[in-house]
Structure 1
Amino acid sequence: MGNATMLEFLAELHENNSYDWMHAHEQQKKDAQEAFVALVASLVAELAVDKPELAALEAKDLVFRINRDTRFSDDKSPYNPTFRAHISPAGRAPVPVGYFISLTPGGTFAGGGLFAPHFKDATRMVREAIASDPAGFLGMVEAPAFKERFHFVGTPLKRVPAGFDAESPAAEYLKCKCWAVEDFLDDAVVADDAACRQAFLESFHAMRAFNQWLNDALKGFEMPTR
């Protein structure tokens, strides 16, 4: 059992997204989930070589549920046919930022950065860090190797927000509400256990300085309590 098990299960779930189908395929679900946890565990072990604070993480605690909250959605499909996990010292929490794994047929990607547009303090802190050193930020995200590999996600504001310089050389990034990046993997790579693991690690290493920059900018941020 490995990545092929995951891809097969997720492809079938995409075509048969119902409670009845899932109930009839519980063992297939279990096998696929176990394969994904094993992949996450192997990535944690490798990342912990350079970041020892990750060594204590339990892979199963980093994985998101596939069950969807359909209460406020027109799409009543009960499951998200995607395996997802976030590796950071705070586990699945978005801050400190870490490494995101999203695995689904035709759309697997390695992610990083900050995707938390609803945390206004976090977005303010990142904007302030960009504004204080636009050249340094641009030198990182506009570097050819970074720009060719990663693309930013999210819909930016139409204008630079009040309090920030609209003429800044980094104005386009000041408009962002999140600073998350993605690097997509082909299904052929994902299906090969060793190649998939290596591709994720290469992507995570390539975004390491970007994540560290964001975490430096977010020092002192506290996650809101419910």
Structure 2
Amino acid sequence: MSDGFTEMLDRAQAFYGDLARNNSKDWFEPRKEAWKRDIEAPAKLLAEIMAEELSRLTGDAHTGKVFRINRDVRFSKDKSPYKTMLAMLWSSGDADSLAPAFYFGIEPDRTFVGCGTPGFDKEGLTRYRAMVDRWGDRLTEIIDASGGHLAEIGPEPLKRVPKPYDPDHIHGDLLRRKSLALGLPLAEGWRESGEGVVAALTERFELLMPFRRFLAERL
């Protein structure tokens, strides 16, 4: 039986598709209350439910949040006022910035699930690179087994393998990265199953769990 969030997802995709074509305050303001009622409110409920599910799966307490729709345009050439996707994040509340987080994004023409760290600070990069140097083979195996792809989020990768690592390091592509996250679409046919968004997300998060566990243990 559907959990009711499929309707929210469908509304979100239609709404953000229209918003992408009409990204202005004049268009959004008359529709703001409907967006808050029909999209933001159920999305916040989904975030709460999935926080409980992730706490069960990981054994660590997770909290969820829905990202605000307003864009920060202060330092951007693009002055479009609104984001054209609905995004949610779940984190364990660990003060360590390397703690992997989970992500769900709804765009007009696709959905995707993610897990990882969107950007390492200086100390985090040192720890990450040492982990790749020592455990890169195992990390690559886990990434391949997940069926996910390396997500292009966070800072741009370096052009060269950083010192003191060999320029021809077997895991040079990973060493050049300044962030590490895996992405997956929702499973093909998830709608036809009739089980709903919570079940579809849980299935994807379970696939990403070995990756999350590896980062939590090795970083």
Shorter chain as denominator, the TM-score bin is: 0.7 to 0.9
Equivalent residue number for residue 73 of structure 2: 70
Shift of 1:206: 1.0
Equivalent residue number for residue 221 of structure 1: none
RMSD after superposition: 2.7
Tell me, what secondary structure is at the counterpart of 1:50? Answer: helix
Equivalent residue number for residue 149 of structure 2: 151
Tell me, what secondary structure is at the counterpart of 1:85? Answer: strand
- Does 2:110 match 1:107? yes
- Does 2:203 match 1:202? yes
Superposed CA offset, 1:185-221 (max 9, x none): 3898579984433222111111112122222333xxx
Superposition map of 1:118-197 within 5 A: 119-141=121-143, 143=144, 145-146=145-146, 149-154=147-152, 155-185=156-186, 189=190, 194-197=195-198
* Structure 2: segments with no counterpart, 5+ residues: 1-6
Aligned pair in 2 of structure 1 residues 94, 194: CA closer, same or farther (>3 Å)?
farther
Match of 1:24 among 24, 30, 54: 30
Tell me, what secondary structure is at the counterpart of 2:41? Answer: helix
Q: Aligned equivalents of 1:191 and 1:38: distance in 2?
A: 23
Which amino acid in 1 is paired with 2:92?
P
Equivalent residue number for residue 50 of structure 1: 57
Q: Tell me the TM-score normalized by structure 1.
A: 0.80
Q: Tell me the TM-score normalized by structure 2.
A: 0.82
Q: Aligned equivalents of 2:97 and 2:198: distance in 1?
A: 22
Match of 1:13 among 15, 19, 36: 19
Tell which deviates more after alignment, 163-172 or 31-40: 163-172
Tell which deviates more after alignment, 175-184 or 160-169: 160-169
Higher RCO, 1 or 2 (CA under 8 Å, sep at least 6)? 2
Which amino acid in 2 is paired with 1:114?
T
Which amino acid in 2 is paired with 1:217?
R
* Structure 1: segments with no counterpart, 5+ residues: 219-226
Aligned pair in 2 of structure 1 residues 25, 105: CA closer, same or farther (>3 Å)?
same
Aligned pair in 2 of structure 1 residues 98, 217: CA closer, same or farther (>3 Å)?
same
Equivalent residue number for residue 80 of structure 1: 83
Q: Aligned equivalents of 1:191 and 1:63: distance in 2?
A: 26
Aligned 8 A contact 2:13 2:109 in 1: no
Aligned 8 A contact 2:186 2:204 in 1: no
Aligned 8 A contact 1:3 1:191 in 2: no
Aligned 8 A contact 2:61 2:93 in 1: no
Tell me, what secondary structure is at the counterpart of 1:126? Answer: helix
Equivalent residue number for residue 3 of structure 2: none
Superposed CA offset, 1:130-151 (max 9, x none): 112232222222x3x32xx211
What is the aligned residue count? 208
Q: Aligned equivalents of 1:136 and 1:184: distance in 2?
A: 23
Shift of 1:161: 0.4
Q: Aligned equivalents of 1:140 and 1:126: distance in 2?
A: 16
Q: Aligned equivalents of 1:151 and 1:189: distance in 2?
A: 19
Q: Aligned equivalents of 2:70 and 2:193: distance in 1?
A: 26
Tell me, what secondary structure is at the counterpart of 2:178? Answer: coil
Superposed CA offset, 1:44-89 (max 9, x none): 222222334326x3x4xx2211111112222111000211121111
Tell me, what secondary structure is at the counterpart of 2:60? Answer: helix
Aligned pair in 2 of structure 1 residues 42, 36: CA closer, same or farther (>3 Å)?
same
